[in-house]
Chain A
Protein backbone atom coordinates (compact mmCIF):
# COMPACT_ATOMS: atom_id res chain seq x y z
CA UNK A 1 0.00 0.00 0.00
CA UNK A 2 1.05 3.53 -0.74
CA UNK A 3 0.50 6.03 2.06
CA UNK A 4 -2.37 8.48 1.50
CA UNK A 5 -1.13 11.46 -0.44
CA UNK A 6 -2.21 14.04 -2.94
CA UNK A 7 -0.72 14.53 -6.36
CA UNK A 8 -0.70 17.76 -8.29
CA UNK A 9 0.22 18.14 -11.96
CA UNK A 10 1.36 21.73 -12.59
CA UNK A 11 1.57 22.91 -16.19
CA UNK A 12 4.46 25.32 -15.79
CA UNK A 13 7.57 25.77 -13.72
CA UNK A 14 6.40 28.78 -11.71
CA UNK A 15 3.33 26.93 -10.52
CA UNK A 16 5.47 23.94 -9.51
CA UNK A 17 7.96 26.16 -7.65
CA UNK A 18 5.27 28.03 -5.76
CA UNK A 19 3.53 24.80 -4.70
CA UNK A 20 6.92 23.45 -3.65
CA UNK A 21 7.79 26.54 -1.62
CA UNK A 22 4.39 26.66 0.10
CA UNK A 23 4.28 23.02 1.16
CA UNK A 24 6.70 21.81 3.77
CA UNK A 25 5.81 18.17 2.95
CA UNK A 26 5.88 18.31 -0.83
CA UNK A 27 8.08 16.05 -2.92
CA UNK A 28 8.80 15.81 -6.64
CA UNK A 29 7.87 12.93 -8.92
CA UNK A 30 8.92 12.65 -12.58
CA UNK A 31 9.29 9.21 -14.17
CA UNK A 32 8.49 7.58 -10.84
CA UNK A 33 10.73 4.57 -11.48
CA UNK A 34 12.55 5.21 -8.21
CA UNK A 35 9.86 7.10 -6.27
CA UNK A 36 6.97 4.64 -6.73
CA UNK A 37 8.81 1.53 -5.41
CA UNK A 38 10.13 3.74 -2.58
CA UNK A 39 6.61 4.83 -1.66
CA UNK A 40 5.31 1.27 -1.77
CA UNK A 41 8.11 -0.05 0.39
CA UNK A 42 7.39 2.68 2.93
CA UNK A 43 10.88 4.13 2.50
CA UNK A 44 11.93 6.68 5.13
CA UNK A 45 12.66 9.13 2.32
CA UNK A 46 8.90 9.76 2.04
CA UNK A 47 7.86 9.53 5.66
CA UNK A 48 6.75 13.17 5.72
CA UNK A 49 5.59 13.43 2.12
CA UNK A 50 1.89 14.26 1.83
CA UNK A 51 1.95 15.95 -1.57
CA UNK A 52 3.69 14.89 -4.76
CA UNK A 53 4.33 17.39 -7.53
CA UNK A 54 4.32 15.62 -10.89
CA UNK A 55 6.67 17.59 -13.15
CA UNK A 56 6.07 15.63 -16.37
CA UNK A 57 3.87 18.30 -17.97
CA UNK A 58 6.22 21.23 -17.42
CA UNK A 59 7.45 22.36 -20.80
CA UNK A 60 10.41 24.27 -19.33
CA UNK A 61 11.83 20.92 -18.22
CA UNK A 62 11.67 19.39 -21.69
CA UNK A 63 13.68 19.76 -24.85
CA UNK A 64 17.22 19.24 -26.07
CA UNK A 65 18.95 22.19 -27.69
CA UNK A 66 22.41 23.26 -28.72
CA UNK A 67 24.06 26.61 -27.97
CA UNK A 68 27.53 28.07 -27.61
CA UNK A 69 27.69 26.80 -24.06
CA UNK A 70 26.88 23.25 -24.99
CA UNK A 71 24.02 20.85 -25.25
CA UNK A 72 21.13 21.66 -22.91
CA UNK A 73 19.00 18.74 -21.89
CA UNK A 74 15.77 19.45 -20.01
CA UNK A 75 15.77 17.83 -16.57
CA UNK A 76 12.57 15.98 -17.44
CA UNK A 77 13.80 14.38 -20.66
CA UNK A 78 13.55 10.60 -20.58
CA UNK A 79 16.49 8.35 -21.36
CA UNK A 80 14.64 7.07 -24.43
CA UNK A 81 14.42 10.53 -25.96
CA UNK A 82 18.01 11.41 -25.02
CA UNK A 83 19.35 8.25 -26.65
CA UNK A 84 17.33 8.92 -29.80
CA UNK A 85 18.34 12.57 -30.16
CA UNK A 86 20.57 13.09 -33.23
CA UNK A 87 22.65 15.90 -31.63
CA UNK A 88 23.30 13.90 -28.47
CA UNK A 89 24.14 10.84 -30.56
CA UNK A 90 26.69 12.78 -32.58
CA UNK A 91 28.31 14.88 -29.84
CA UNK A 92 27.94 12.77 -26.69
CA UNK A 93 28.28 9.11 -27.67
CA UNK A 94 29.59 8.14 -24.22
CA UNK A 95 26.39 9.47 -22.64
CA UNK A 96 24.29 7.58 -25.18
CA UNK A 97 26.13 4.36 -24.44
CA UNK A 98 25.73 4.79 -20.66
CA UNK A 99 22.05 5.76 -20.84
CA UNK A 100 21.36 2.80 -23.11
CA UNK A 101 22.37 0.44 -20.31
CA UNK A 102 19.80 1.85 -17.87
CA UNK A 103 17.01 -0.45 -16.71
CA UNK A 104 14.93 -1.64 -19.62
CA UNK A 105 12.94 -0.09 -22.45
CA UNK A 106 10.01 0.39 -20.05
CA UNK A 107 12.25 2.15 -17.51
CA UNK A 108 14.03 4.31 -20.10
CA UNK A 109 10.64 5.40 -21.47
CA UNK A 110 9.75 6.93 -18.08
CA UNK A 111 12.94 7.63 -16.14
CA UNK A 112 14.44 11.11 -16.50
CA UNK A 113 18.02 12.34 -16.60
CA UNK A 114 17.75 14.56 -13.52
CA UNK A 115 15.89 11.84 -11.65
CA UNK A 116 18.96 9.66 -12.10
CA UNK A 117 21.30 11.93 -10.13
CA UNK A 118 19.04 14.08 -7.99
CA UNK A 119 18.99 11.54 -5.16
CA UNK A 120 22.75 10.83 -5.59
CA UNK A 121 22.49 7.06 -5.47
CA UNK A 122 25.96 5.61 -6.13
CA UNK A 123 24.60 3.25 -8.81
CA UNK A 124 23.21 6.00 -11.12
CA UNK A 125 24.41 4.84 -14.53
CA UNK A 126 24.41 8.21 -16.31
CA UNK A 127 26.59 9.89 -13.67
CA UNK A 128 30.08 8.65 -14.65
CA UNK A 129 29.45 9.75 -18.26
CA UNK A 130 28.06 13.13 -17.15
CA UNK A 131 31.11 13.63 -14.89
CA UNK A 132 33.47 12.75 -17.72
CA UNK A 133 31.82 15.43 -19.86
CA UNK A 134 32.17 18.09 -17.05
CA UNK A 135 28.40 18.55 -16.95
CA UNK A 136 26.83 21.65 -15.42
CA UNK A 137 23.39 21.63 -13.89
CA UNK A 138 20.90 24.45 -13.63
CA UNK A 139 18.77 24.73 -10.50
CA UNK A 140 15.74 27.00 -10.25
CA UNK A 141 13.77 28.32 -7.28
CA UNK A 142 11.36 31.23 -6.86
CA UNK A 143 14.44 33.36 -6.10
CA UNK A 144 16.06 32.64 -9.45
CA UNK A 145 18.51 30.30 -11.11
CA UNK A 146 21.93 29.03 -10.14
CA UNK A 147 24.40 26.78 -11.90
CA UNK A 148 27.02 24.42 -10.61
CA UNK A 149 29.05 21.50 -11.82
CA UNK A 150 27.49 18.09 -11.29
CA UNK A 151 30.62 17.05 -9.40
CA UNK A 152 29.96 19.88 -6.90
CA UNK A 153 26.25 19.09 -6.73
CA UNK A 154 26.88 15.49 -5.64
CA UNK A 155 27.97 15.86 -2.02
CA UNK A 156 27.93 12.44 -0.40
CA UNK A 157 25.85 9.28 -0.85
CA UNK A 158 22.18 10.31 -1.15
CA UNK A 159 23.08 13.96 -0.34
CA UNK A 160 23.26 16.82 -2.83
CA UNK A 161 23.44 20.62 -2.84
CA UNK A 162 19.72 20.86 -3.64
CA UNK A 163 17.95 23.11 -1.13
CA UNK A 164 14.33 23.30 -0.12
CA UNK A 165 12.20 24.94 -2.78
CA UNK A 166 14.63 24.17 -5.59
CA UNK A 167 14.14 22.05 -8.72
CA UNK A 168 16.88 20.88 -11.09
CA UNK A 169 15.73 22.35 -14.41
CA UNK A 170 18.35 21.36 -16.96
CA UNK A 171 21.79 19.97 -17.54
CA UNK A 172 24.33 21.63 -19.78
CA UNK A 173 26.97 19.43 -21.33
CA UNK A 174 29.85 21.33 -22.94
CA UNK A 175 30.37 20.11 -26.50
CA UNK A 176 33.65 18.19 -26.57
CA UNK A 177 36.23 20.19 -28.52
CA UNK A 178 38.14 17.12 -29.54
CA UNK A 179 37.20 13.85 -31.14
CA UNK A 180 37.36 11.69 -28.06
CA UNK A 181 37.32 7.93 -28.20
CA UNK A 182 35.11 6.56 -25.49
CA UNK A 183 33.87 3.53 -23.64
CA UNK A 184 31.45 2.73 -20.84
CA UNK A 185 31.39 -0.42 -18.75
CA UNK A 186 28.62 -1.65 -16.49
CA UNK A 187 28.60 -4.72 -14.32
CA UNK A 188 25.30 -5.86 -12.85
CA UNK A 189 23.88 -9.26 -11.97
CA UNK A 190 22.35 -9.41 -15.42
CA UNK A 191 22.36 -7.14 -18.43
CA UNK A 192 18.91 -5.52 -18.10
CA UNK A 193 17.18 -4.14 -15.01
CA UNK A 194 20.01 -4.84 -12.60
CA UNK A 195 21.45 -2.45 -10.07
CA UNK A 196 25.03 -1.68 -11.12
CA UNK A 197 27.89 -3.05 -9.06
CA UNK A 198 30.57 -1.32 -11.09
CA UNK A 199 30.39 1.39 -13.74
CA UNK A 200 33.39 2.97 -15.48
CA UNK A 201 33.45 5.74 -18.07
CA UNK A 202 36.37 6.70 -20.28
CA UNK A 203 37.05 9.55 -22.72
CA UNK A 204 40.43 9.64 -24.38
CA UNK A 205 42.03 11.80 -27.04
CA UNK A 206 45.16 10.48 -28.70
CA UNK A 207 47.78 12.30 -30.75
CA UNK A 208 49.63 9.59 -32.54
CA UNK A 209 50.87 7.36 -29.76
CA UNK A 210 50.55 10.06 -27.08
CA UNK A 211 47.67 10.39 -24.67
CA UNK A 212 46.73 14.01 -25.27
CA UNK A 213 43.88 13.97 -22.77
CA UNK A 214 42.12 11.32 -20.72
CA UNK A 215 39.07 11.50 -18.48
CA UNK A 216 38.17 8.68 -16.13
CA UNK A 217 35.03 8.36 -14.00
CA UNK A 218 33.42 5.66 -11.91
CA UNK A 219 30.12 4.88 -10.27
CA UNK A 220 28.67 2.21 -7.98
CA UNK A 221 32.15 0.99 -7.02
CA UNK A 222 32.75 4.35 -5.34
CA UNK A 223 30.35 5.80 -2.71
CA UNK A 224 29.35 8.52 -5.19
CA UNK A 225 30.28 9.08 -8.83
CA UNK A 226 33.93 10.16 -9.00
CA UNK A 227 36.51 11.58 -11.40
CA UNK A 228 40.17 10.67 -11.02
CA UNK A 229 42.02 13.88 -11.87
CA UNK A 230 45.41 12.88 -10.46
CA UNK A 231 45.41 9.69 -12.45
CA UNK A 232 44.30 11.66 -15.51
CA UNK A 233 47.25 14.04 -15.02
CA UNK A 234 49.63 11.11 -14.56
CA UNK A 235 48.58 9.62 -17.92
CA UNK A 236 48.43 12.85 -19.87
CA UNK A 237 51.21 13.37 -22.42
CA UNK A 238 52.63 9.88 -21.95
CA UNK A 239 53.20 7.59 -24.86
CA UNK A 240 51.18 4.41 -24.82
CA UNK A 241 52.69 1.02 -24.17
CA UNK A 242 51.55 -2.09 -22.29
CA UNK A 243 53.25 -0.97 -19.09
CA UNK A 244 51.53 2.42 -19.10
CA UNK A 245 48.09 0.86 -19.59
CA UNK A 246 48.79 -1.53 -16.72
CA UNK A 247 50.02 1.34 -14.54
CA UNK A 248 46.88 3.40 -15.24
CA UNK A 249 44.62 0.42 -14.53
CA UNK A 250 46.30 -0.56 -11.28
CA UNK A 251 46.42 3.16 -10.38
CA UNK A 252 42.64 3.30 -10.79
CA UNK A 253 42.26 0.33 -8.48
CA UNK A 254 44.47 2.02 -5.86
CA UNK A 255 42.57 5.29 -6.19
CA UNK A 256 39.26 3.53 -5.67
CA UNK A 257 40.60 1.67 -2.65
CA UNK A 258 41.77 5.00 -1.19
CA UNK A 259 38.21 6.35 -1.51
CA UNK A 260 36.29 3.31 -0.28
CA UNK A 261 38.68 1.78 2.22
CA UNK A 262 38.94 -2.00 2.37
CA UNK A 263 35.49 -3.57 2.13
CA UNK A 264 34.16 -7.11 2.08
CA UNK A 265 33.74 -6.80 -1.67
CA UNK A 266 37.16 -5.26 -2.40
CA UNK A 267 38.86 -8.61 -2.93
CA UNK A 268 36.44 -9.28 -5.76
CA UNK A 269 35.79 -5.83 -7.16
CA UNK A 270 39.33 -4.43 -7.34
CA UNK A 271 40.82 -7.07 -9.64
CA UNK A 272 37.69 -6.77 -11.78
CA UNK A 273 38.04 -2.98 -11.98
CA UNK A 274 41.72 -3.23 -12.88
CA UNK A 275 41.29 -5.91 -15.50
CA UNK A 276 38.17 -4.36 -17.02
CA UNK A 277 39.74 -0.91 -17.18
CA UNK A 278 42.86 -2.32 -18.80
CA UNK A 279 40.67 -3.95 -21.45
CA UNK A 280 38.68 -0.73 -21.92
CA UNK A 281 41.88 1.26 -22.46
CA UNK A 282 43.25 -1.32 -24.85
CA UNK A 283 40.06 -1.56 -26.89
CA UNK A 284 39.51 2.20 -26.97
CA UNK A 285 43.06 3.09 -27.98
CA UNK A 286 43.76 0.28 -30.41
CA UNK A 287 40.27 0.05 -31.89
CA UNK A 288 37.65 -2.63 -31.85
CA UNK A 289 33.95 -2.38 -31.35
CA UNK A 290 32.43 -0.02 -28.81
CA UNK A 291 29.23 -2.04 -28.60
Chain B
Protein backbone atom coordinates (compact mmCIF):
# COMPACT_ATOMS: atom_id res chain seq x y z
CA UNK B 1 0.00 0.00 0.00
CA UNK B 2 1.39 3.41 -0.88
CA UNK B 3 1.45 6.07 1.76
CA UNK B 4 -0.86 8.99 1.04
CA UNK B 5 0.41 12.34 2.29
CA UNK B 6 -1.99 14.39 4.39
CA UNK B 7 -2.18 18.09 5.23
CA UNK B 8 -2.40 18.70 8.94
CA UNK B 9 -3.40 21.95 10.67
CA UNK B 10 -2.95 22.54 14.38
CA UNK B 11 -1.58 25.01 16.88
CA UNK B 12 2.06 24.56 17.84
CA UNK B 13 3.52 26.63 20.65
CA UNK B 14 0.86 29.25 20.18
CA UNK B 15 1.14 29.57 16.39
CA UNK B 16 -1.16 28.08 13.77
CA UNK B 17 0.81 25.66 11.60
CA UNK B 18 0.09 23.64 8.46
CA UNK B 19 2.25 20.69 7.50
CA UNK B 20 2.29 17.97 4.87
CA UNK B 21 3.11 14.60 6.36
CA UNK B 22 2.76 10.85 5.99
CA UNK B 23 -0.08 9.75 8.30
CA UNK B 24 1.78 6.81 9.85
CA UNK B 25 4.15 8.75 12.10
CA UNK B 26 3.82 9.73 15.73
CA UNK B 27 3.54 13.19 17.22
CA UNK B 28 7.13 12.95 18.50
CA UNK B 29 8.38 12.25 14.96
CA UNK B 30 6.35 15.16 13.63
CA UNK B 31 7.83 17.54 16.20
CA UNK B 32 11.43 16.41 15.90
CA UNK B 33 11.69 15.62 12.18
CA UNK B 34 9.29 18.07 10.53
CA UNK B 35 9.49 21.04 12.91
CA UNK B 36 13.02 20.49 14.16
CA UNK B 37 11.81 20.83 17.77
CA UNK B 38 14.36 18.45 19.22
CA UNK B 39 13.74 19.42 22.85
CA UNK B 40 11.20 16.62 22.96
CA UNK B 41 13.18 13.43 23.65
CA UNK B 42 12.43 9.82 22.85
CA UNK B 43 13.23 7.37 25.63
CA UNK B 44 11.30 4.11 25.70
CA UNK B 45 8.88 4.74 22.85
CA UNK B 46 6.07 2.87 24.63
CA UNK B 47 4.75 5.43 27.11
CA UNK B 48 6.67 4.29 30.17
CA UNK B 49 9.42 6.89 30.63
CA UNK B 50 7.79 10.28 29.92
CA UNK B 51 10.84 11.78 28.14
CA UNK B 52 8.60 12.63 25.16
CA UNK B 53 5.94 14.45 27.25
CA UNK B 54 4.29 17.43 25.57
CA UNK B 55 1.08 19.28 26.31
CA UNK B 56 -1.93 18.53 24.13
CA UNK B 57 -4.80 20.93 24.82
CA UNK B 58 -3.09 21.82 28.12
CA UNK B 59 -2.75 18.22 29.28
CA UNK B 60 0.49 16.25 29.59
CA UNK B 61 0.59 13.39 27.08
CA UNK B 62 3.24 11.01 25.76
CA UNK B 63 3.99 12.22 22.23
CA UNK B 64 5.16 8.69 21.37
CA UNK B 65 1.59 7.42 21.88
CA UNK B 66 -0.20 9.96 19.69
CA UNK B 67 -0.38 9.49 15.93
CA UNK B 68 0.34 12.67 13.98
CA UNK B 69 -3.12 12.89 12.32
CA UNK B 70 -4.74 12.79 15.77
CA UNK B 71 -3.44 16.29 16.62
CA UNK B 72 -5.58 17.89 13.90
CA UNK B 73 -7.12 21.06 15.33
CA UNK B 74 -5.56 20.71 18.76
CA UNK B 75 -3.01 22.83 20.56
CA UNK B 76 0.45 21.35 21.22
CA UNK B 77 3.03 22.91 23.52
CA UNK B 78 6.62 21.71 23.68
CA UNK B 79 9.53 22.60 25.94
CA UNK B 80 10.62 25.22 23.39
CA UNK B 81 7.58 27.36 24.28
CA UNK B 82 8.43 27.89 27.93
CA UNK B 83 11.33 30.35 27.90
CA UNK B 84 10.77 33.82 26.49
CA UNK B 85 13.93 34.39 24.47
CA UNK B 86 16.80 34.26 26.95
CA UNK B 87 14.46 34.52 29.91
CA UNK B 88 13.87 31.09 31.44
CA UNK B 89 10.51 30.05 32.83
CA UNK B 90 10.58 29.95 36.66
CA UNK B 91 10.35 26.14 36.50
CA UNK B 92 13.45 25.96 34.29
CA UNK B 93 15.31 28.42 36.53
CA UNK B 94 14.43 26.43 39.64
CA UNK B 95 15.33 23.10 38.03
CA UNK B 96 18.80 24.55 37.45
CA UNK B 97 19.23 26.17 40.86
CA UNK B 98 18.00 23.08 42.73
CA UNK B 99 20.27 20.66 40.91
CA UNK B 100 17.24 18.97 39.31
CA UNK B 101 19.09 18.65 36.00
CA UNK B 102 21.93 16.18 35.71
CA UNK B 103 22.19 14.37 32.38
CA UNK B 104 19.17 16.39 31.26
CA UNK B 105 17.48 13.78 29.11
CA UNK B 106 14.33 13.56 31.24
CA UNK B 107 14.25 17.31 31.89
CA UNK B 108 11.99 18.56 29.05
CA UNK B 109 9.35 15.97 29.91
CA UNK B 110 9.76 16.49 33.64
CA UNK B 111 9.40 20.26 33.27
CA UNK B 112 6.31 19.92 31.08
CA UNK B 113 4.60 17.48 33.46
CA UNK B 114 5.28 19.95 36.27
CA UNK B 115 4.11 22.86 34.11
CA UNK B 116 0.80 21.10 33.37
CA UNK B 117 0.40 20.41 37.09
CA UNK B 118 1.04 24.01 38.16
CA UNK B 119 -1.34 25.37 35.52
CA UNK B 120 -4.14 23.16 36.84
CA UNK B 121 -3.19 23.25 40.50
CA UNK B 122 -1.07 26.25 41.56
CA UNK B 123 -0.45 24.99 45.11
CA UNK B 124 0.13 21.22 44.86
CA UNK B 125 1.02 19.04 47.83
CA UNK B 126 4.18 16.92 47.70
CA UNK B 127 1.97 13.88 47.01
CA UNK B 128 0.32 15.67 44.08
CA UNK B 129 3.73 16.63 42.66
CA UNK B 130 4.86 13.00 42.90
CA UNK B 131 1.66 11.81 41.22
CA UNK B 132 2.11 14.32 38.37
CA UNK B 133 5.67 13.19 37.63
CA UNK B 134 5.19 9.47 38.34
CA UNK B 135 5.19 8.89 34.58
CA UNK B 136 8.56 10.61 34.11
CA UNK B 137 11.61 8.50 34.86
CA UNK B 138 14.85 10.12 36.01
CA UNK B 139 17.87 7.89 36.57
CA UNK B 140 20.19 10.64 37.88
CA UNK B 141 18.65 12.87 40.51
CA UNK B 142 16.67 10.53 42.72
CA UNK B 143 13.72 12.92 42.19
CA UNK B 144 14.22 14.86 45.43
CA UNK B 145 15.73 17.92 43.74
CA UNK B 146 13.01 17.85 41.08
CA UNK B 147 10.25 17.84 43.69
CA UNK B 148 12.02 20.69 45.55
CA UNK B 149 12.26 22.70 42.31
CA UNK B 150 8.54 22.28 41.61
CA UNK B 151 7.65 23.28 45.18
CA UNK B 152 9.88 26.36 44.98
CA UNK B 153 8.28 27.37 41.67
CA UNK B 154 4.77 26.99 43.05
CA UNK B 155 5.76 29.20 45.98
CA UNK B 156 7.25 31.88 43.71
CA UNK B 157 4.36 31.92 41.27
CA UNK B 158 1.83 32.24 44.09
CA UNK B 159 3.81 35.05 45.70
CA UNK B 160 4.02 37.02 42.47
CA UNK B 161 0.31 36.51 41.89
CA UNK B 162 -0.47 37.92 45.33
CA UNK B 163 1.78 40.93 44.64
CA UNK B 164 -0.06 41.65 41.41
CA UNK B 165 -3.35 41.74 43.30
Give the B-binding residues of A (Cβ under 8 A): 1-7, 9, 29, 31-33, 36-37, 40, 50, 52, 54, 56, 80, 103-107, 109-110, 191-193
Q: Which of B1-27 contact A (CB under 8 A)?
A: 1-4, 22-26
CA distance A192 to B4 in the complex (A): 38
Query: DSSP class of A's interface residues: helix, strand, loop or mixed?
Result: loop
Q: Which residue from chain A places its CB closest to the CB of B22 in the assembled complex?
A: A4
Q: Which of B55-111 contact A (CB under 8 A)?
A: 56, 59-62, 64-67, 69-70, 72
| Complex partner residue of B61 from A4, A7, A37, A110, CB under 8 angstroms | A110
* Residues in chain B near residue A40, CB distance under 8 A: 26, 45-46
CA distance A158 to B135 in the complex (A): 26
* Residues in chain A near residue B72, CB distance under 8 A: 9
- Are A107 and B26 neighbours in the complex by a CB distance under 8 Å? no
Q: Can you list 27 A-B pairs, Cβ within 8 angstroms, ordered by A?
A: A2-B67, A3-B24, A4-B3, A4-B22, A6-B4, A6-B23, A7-B67, A7-B69, A9-B70, A9-B72, A29-B70, A31-B65, A32-B67, A32-B70, A36-B26, A36-B64, A36-B66, A37-B46, A37-B47, A103-B47, A105-B60, A105-B135, A107-B47, A109-B61, A110-B61, A192-B134, A192-B135
Contact A36:B60 (CB < 8 A) given known A9-B72, A106-B53: no
Give the A-binding residues of B (Cβ under 8 A): 1-4, 22-26, 45-48, 50, 53, 56, 59-62, 64-67, 69-70, 72, 113, 116-117, 131-132, 134-136
- Are B134 and A110 neighbours in the complex by a CB distance under 8 Å? no
- Are B50 and A106 neighbours in the complex by a CB distance under 8 Å? yes
| Complex partner residue of B24 from A2, A29, A80, A109, CB under 8 angstroms | A2
- Shortest CB-to-CB span from B126 to chain A, Å, is 14
CA distance A84 to B2 in the complex (A): 43
- Are A106 and B60 neighbours in the complex by a CB distance under 8 Å? yes
* Residues in chain B near residue A106, CB distance under 8 A: 47, 50, 53, 60-62, 65, 113, 135
* Residues in chain B near residue A54, CB distance under 8 A: 67, 69-70
- Are B65 and A4 neighbours in the complex by a CB distance under 8 Å? no
- Shortest CB-to-CB span from B78 to chain A, Å, is 14
* Residues in chain B near residue A192, CB distance under 8 A: 134-135
